[in-house]
Amino acid sequence: MIPSGYLRGAPESADRMPRSALCALIFLAVAQVGCTLGLFLYFKAQIDSTRMSDKELQCWRAIMKMGNPLNSKCCDDDNVHECEGVEQASNSAVEKVIQAVEPERRIHAGSDVKDILHTLKNINRRKGHEVAHLTIHNITYGVSKVNLTSWKVKEGWANLQNMSYNNGKLRVLRDGFYFVYANICFRHHKSSSNFVETVRGKPLQLMLYICKISKNGRDLHTLMKGGKTEVWTNDTDYHFYSIYQGGVFRLQADEEILIQSSYTQLLDPTQEATYFGAFKIYD
C-alpha cells in the first residue's frame, strides 16, 4: 500500500511544480514589462518635458479660436481641471505681455484673442515716445479760415513717430498729455503777386487756429488761436508777420489735430517758417 500510495502521490506533486513555475515566470514577465515601460516613460518625460497632452493641445487650439477653452468641446467633466489650468496659464501670459508692452492699454486676459493679436502687431510701431513735427507742403488758397491739408512728415526737418497723419490731420494713438504747437509766417514782397495788390492798404486779419477733432470725426474744437490785424501798404518792400501758439492738452487715442489759417496765399512755405507738431509729456 505504501508503494502504491507513493506512486499515486508522485504525479500530483509533479503537476503542481510546473504551475508554480509558470506563475513565477508570468509574474517576472509582467514585472519586467512594467519596469521597461516605466523606464521608457521616465526617460521620455525627461527628454521631452515640454510635450503637452492631446487634451492640452485641444485647449490651446480653443483659446486661439474663441479665447476660452472652457466653452469648447475639448473640455468635458473628466478634464475640466486640465482646461482650467491651461486657461489660467494663457491668461497669465497674456496679462504679462500686455502689461510689459502697453500698460495703459485697456486689455485684460479673457479679451478676444483677435483684439490682443491686433494690439501686439502694433507694438513695434508704438514703441518709444510720441513725437511729430510737420512742415508745410502745399497750400490751399483762401482768404477766410482755411484748413491746411498738406504737410510733410519725413522730408527735411519733418518727422513722425508713434503718431499717424492723413490729409492734414495729426492723429494721437494713445491717451496722454501732449504739448501741441504751431507756427505760421505771413510774408510777401510788394511785387510778388496780383493778390497782394488786391489787399494792399486794406486791413488783413492774419489768424492761426489750432483745432482738435474728436474721435467721432465730426466735432471740431479750437484749442488755441492767435493773430493780428495788419495793414500792408507801399511804404516798404517786404512785409512779415509770424504767429506761434503752444500749450498742453489732454488728448485721447484717435483724436486729431488740425491747423487752420486765414489769407493762406501769404503763407511762407519754407520748413522753418510754417510748421506744427505735438509730443507726449506724460500719460
| Helix or strand (DSSP H, E) at 251 | strand 238-251
CA pair distance 88, 95, nearest whole angstrom: 10
Q: Could you give the C-alpha distances from 108 to 93, 117, 124, 126, in angstroms and in order?
A: 11, 13, 20, 19
CA pair distance 126, 116, nearest whole angstrom: 15
Is there a contact between 139 and 269 (Cβ–Cβ < 8 Å)?
yes
Predicted local confidence at residue 233, as pLDDT:
78
Q: Could you give the C-alpha distances from 76 to 59, 60, 71, 156, in angstroms and in order?
A: 11, 15, 10, 63
- Cβ burial of 79 (10 Å; 0-12, 13-18, 19+) is middle
Compute φ and ψ for 32, nearest 5 degrees.
Answer: -65, -45
Predicted local confidence at residue 238, as pLDDT:
82
Number of other CB atoms surrounding residue 142 within 10 Å: 14
Task: Supply the DSSP string of 44-109, one letter for each residue.
Answer: HHHHTTTPPPHHHHHHHHHHHHHS-GGGSTT--TTSHHHHHHHHHHHHHHHHHHHHHH-TTS---T
CA pair distance 264, 83, nearest whole angstrom: 65
Taking alpha carbons only, the member of 178, 270, 184 closest to residue 223 is 178
The residue count of the chain comes to 283
- Cβ burial of 271 (10 Å; 0-12, 13-18, 19+) is middle
CA pair distance 214, 194, nearest whole angstrom: 39
Mean pLDDT by 10 residues, the chain (283 residues): 46 53 66 61 53 62 55 54 61 56 49 58 62 93 90 95 96 96 89 69 92 92 95 80 96 96 93 96 89
- Cβ burial of 173 (10 Å; 0-12, 13-18, 19+) is middle
Domain ranges of the chain: 54-123, 129-282
Predicted local confidence at residue 269, as pLDDT:
92
Q: Which residue has the cell 494713438?
A: 173
Predicted local confidence at residue 160, as pLDDT:
96
Predicted local confidence at residue 87, as pLDDT:
61
- Yes or no: is domain 129-282 CATH 2.60.120.40? yes
